[in-house]
């Protein structure tokens, strides 16, 4: 109760002969109370459950501001009696689900009508007299397939321009289906958070009057005239009141998953114990998350210290031996004309994409097997034969670049 928000979500979940009534905080998604019944719930069971929960709230000085439920008839009268000052919100998802099912049922009904109009043809290739009927049957069959493949376009919230053109194509000649799509757009506009409940109710009144004018559509969309749709617009006047009961639905899904994993839990006492254990884990979750976060920080600090120490040791060990390596992905830079002439003057070799020294030593060594023996061949660079080398004794006192015979003779003549 430490993080009680004042907005609740109530629902029931069935598991064989058992029924679990649950109350969940609709903003913090924390289960607050539950009760396990061994029969289907009645209004009196819900009244006792809510009254007991209200006693705990009064003892802590807490107040309920709003309650979100599904369209069940178990809750409206009980909420009005136990929590008279709380807003009762019907889950928006459940209301839209009923309307969407009605629209899809109408589309399926149109497909059945088209199927009844499809002419019956004998098996095999159609004769000349039946070719027109065969083409008609093929067109109707294609239209039925399109209505089935694109049935989601009648209930999808937002449509792209391509989807709008597709919807216009498949509803050609079926104006009542286009009217259904227009009505669905108006239904989605009712739940716009930018307007108030009074404005949404006025829109709903105009929509109902429009639906009554279409006899064929009015019978399909009877869900638009239920009082649950009006209660589903209560959240528009309260920015903090959630529009759906997703919190308690998530709690129910968690319960069903636990029941599937341990199938032997099928007594009322064991179900109570399992839910109590789950609530205790939820209560300890913030401390558990904080502990895990602290451990991660401590481990990351230790790892960073170890990495820094390793890097420092490697830098000390490799001091003086580090050489900058060229980037293997870098493309060779072609020398300019002045650089090529300068390199030719210094080394006697033309400068290419690589340096002059590497051009002098470029060769490819390949091994080929010939007559069971390994033969080594060397292919010299395309620049020409390798220049003559002179012993190091004869190069004493000469510059380092003067290693060829021509440069050595030139240096002696200048000396």
Is the pLDDT at 329 greater than 60, yes or no? no
- The reply to whether 66 and 32 lie within a common domain is yes
Torsion angle of C-alpha atoms 408, 411, 413, 415, degrees rounded to 10? -140
- The reply to whether 114 and 186 lie within a common domain is yes
Copy the structure tokens of residue 92. 């928006």
Select from 102, 93, 76, 79 the least CA-distant residue to 227.
76
Which range of residues forms the domain containing residue 271?
7-90+243-291
Least confident of 128-142, 249-263, 309-323: 309-323
- The reply to whether 144 and 100 lie within a common domain is yes
Least confident of 65-74, 95-104, 353-362: 353-362
- The reply to whether 227 and 114 lie within a common domain is yes
State the average pLDDT over residues 221-240: 90
Boundary of a domain, candidates 231, 265, 299: 231
- Separation CA 204–CA 210 (nearest Å): 10
CA distances to 95, 147, 164, 178, 205 from 217, rounded to whole Å, are 18, 17, 21, 11, 16
Specify the residue for token string 């994993």. 261
Instruction: Give residue 35's pLDDT.
Output: 92
- The reply to whether 100 and 223 lie within a common domain is yes
Instruction: Give residue 257's pLDDT.
Output: 84
- Separation CA 9–CA 242 (nearest Å): 9
State the average pLDDT over residues 392-402: 50
- The reply to whether 104 and 58 lie within a common domain is no
The total of other beta-carbon atoms located within 10 Å of residue 133's CB is: 15
Residue with the larger pLDDT of the pair 299 and 188:
188
Strand pairing partners for 374? 369
Per-residue pLDDT tens digits for 169-208: 999 988 889 989 999 999 999 999 888 999 999 999 999 9
What's the structural domain count of the chain?
3
3-state secondary structure the chain: CCCCCCEEEEEEEEECCEEEEEEEECCCCCEEEEEEECCCCCHHHHHHHHHHHHHHHHHHCCCCCEEEECCCCCCHHHHHHHCCCCEEEECHHHHHHHHHHHHHHHHHHHHHHHHHHCCCCCCCCCCHHHHHHHHHHHHHHHHHHHHHHCHHHHCCCCCCHHHHHHHHHHCCCCHHHHHHHHHHHHHHHHCCCCCCHHHHHHHHHHHHHHHHHCHHHHHHCHHHHCHHHHHCCHHHHCCCCCCCCHHHHHHHHHHHHHHHHCCCCCCHHHHHHHHHHHHHHHHHHHHHHHHHHHHHHHHHHHHHHHHHHHHHHHHHHCCCCCCCCCCCCCCCCCCCHHHHHHHHHHHCCCCCCCCHHHHHCCCEEEEEEECCEEEEEEECCCCCCCCCECCHHHHCCCCCCCCEHHHHHHHHHHC
Task: Output Rg (C-alpha) for the chain, integer angstroms.
Answer: 42
- The reply to whether 112 and 220 lie within a common domain is yes
Domain presence at residue 300: no
- The reply to whether 221 and 144 lie within a common domain is yes
- Separation CA 76–CA 234 (nearest Å): 13
What CATH number has the domain bearing residue 75? 3.30.420.10
State the average pLDDT over residues 282-299: 81
- The reply to whether 217 and 157 lie within a common domain is yes
Domain presence at residue 344: no
Instruction: Give residue 313's pLDDT.
Output: 62
- The reply to whether 97 and 163 lie within a common domain is yes
Instruction: Give residue 386's pLDDT.
Output: 57
State the average pLDDT over residues 96-108: 91
State the average pLDDT over residues 201-217: 86
Domain presence at residue 308: no
Contact 87, 238 (CB under 8 A): yes
Burial 280-303 (b: 16+ CB within 10 A, else e): eeeeeeeeeeeeeeeeeeeeeeee
Instruction: Give residue 91's pLDDT.
Output: 93
Please report which confidence band the pLDDT of residue 281 belongs to, taking 50, 70 and 90 as the band edges: confident
Residue with the larger pLDDT of the pair 325 and 292:
292
Instruction: Give residue 408's pLDDT.
Output: 60
Strand pairing partners for 12? 21
The total of other beta-carbon atoms located within 10 Å of residue 30's CB is: 19
CA distances to 117, 142, 145, 314, 327 from 131, rounded to whole Å, are 17, 16, 21, 86, 73
Domain presence at residue 78: yes
Domain presence at residue 311: no
- The reply to whether 44 and 81 lie within a common domain is yes
Instruction: Give residue 93's pLDDT.
Output: 92
Select from 355, 402, 403 the least CA-distant residue to 381.
355
- Separation CA 36–CA 18 (nearest Å): 7
Domain presence at residue 328: no
- The reply to whether 378 and 411 lie within a common domain is yes
Domain presence at residue 251: yes
Please report which confidence band the pLDDT of residue 375 belongs to, taking 50, 70 and 90 as the band edges: very low
Instruction: Give residue 403's pLDDT.
Output: 47
Domain presence at residue 314: no
The total of other beta-carbon atoms located within 10 Å of residue 217's CB is: 20
State the average pLDDT over residues 118-136: 81
Least confident of 36-40, 133-137, 169-173, 202-206: 133-137
Please report which confidence band the pLDDT of residue 389 belongs to, taking 50, 70 and 90 as the band edges: low
């Amino acid at each position: 109760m430490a993080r009680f928000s004042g907005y609740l979500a109530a629902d029931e979940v069935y598991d064989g002969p058992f029924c679990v009534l649950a109350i969940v905080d609709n903003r913090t998604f924390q289960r607050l109370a539950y009760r396990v019944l061994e029969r289907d719930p009645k209004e009196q069971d819900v009244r006792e459950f809510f009254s007991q929960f209200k006693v705990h709230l009064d003892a802590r000085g807490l107040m309920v501001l709003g309650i979100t439920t599904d369209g069940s008839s178990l809750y409206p009268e009980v909420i009005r009696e136990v929590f008279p000052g709380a807003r009762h919100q019907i889950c928006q998802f459940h209301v839209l689900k009923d309307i969407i099912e009605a629209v899809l049922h109408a589309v399926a009904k149109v497909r059945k009508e088209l199927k009844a109009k499809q002419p019956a043809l004998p098996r095999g290739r159609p004769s000349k007299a039946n070719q027109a009927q065969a083409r008609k049957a093929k067109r109707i069959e294609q239209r039925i397939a399109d209505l089935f493949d694109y049935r989601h376009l009648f209930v999808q919230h937002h449509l792209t321009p391509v989807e709008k053109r597709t919807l216009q194509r498949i509803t050609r000649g079926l104006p009542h289906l286009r009217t259904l799509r227009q009505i669905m757009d108006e239904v989605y506009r009712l739940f716009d958070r930018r307007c108030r409940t009074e404005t949404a109710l006025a829109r709903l009144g105009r929509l109902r009057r429009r639906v009554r004018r279409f006899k064929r559509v009015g019978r399909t969309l009877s869900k638009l005239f239920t009082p649950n749709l009006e209660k589903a617009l209560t959240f528009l006047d309260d920015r903090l009141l959630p529009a759906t009961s997703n919190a308690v639905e998530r709690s129910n899904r968690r319960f069903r998953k636990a029941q599937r994993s341990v199938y032997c839990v099928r007594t009322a006492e064991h179900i109570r114990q399992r839910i109590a254990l789950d609530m205790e884990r939820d209560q300890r979750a913030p401390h558990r998350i904080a502990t895990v976060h602290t451990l991660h920080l401590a481990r990351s600090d230790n790892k960073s210290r170890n990495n820094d120490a390793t890097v420092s040791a490697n830098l000390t060990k490799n001091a003086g031996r580090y050489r900058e390596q060229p980037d293997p992905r870098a493309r060779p830079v072609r020398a300019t004309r002045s650089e090529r002439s300068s390199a030719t003057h210094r080394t006697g070799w033309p400068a290419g994409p690589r340096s002059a020294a590497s051009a002098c030593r470029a060769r490819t060594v390949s091994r080929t097997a010939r007559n069971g023996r390994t033969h080594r061949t060397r292919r010299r660079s395309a620049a020409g034969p390798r220049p003559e080398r002179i012993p190091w004794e004869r190069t004493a006192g000469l510059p380092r670049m003067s290693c060829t015979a021509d440069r050595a003779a030139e240096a002696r003549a200048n000396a």
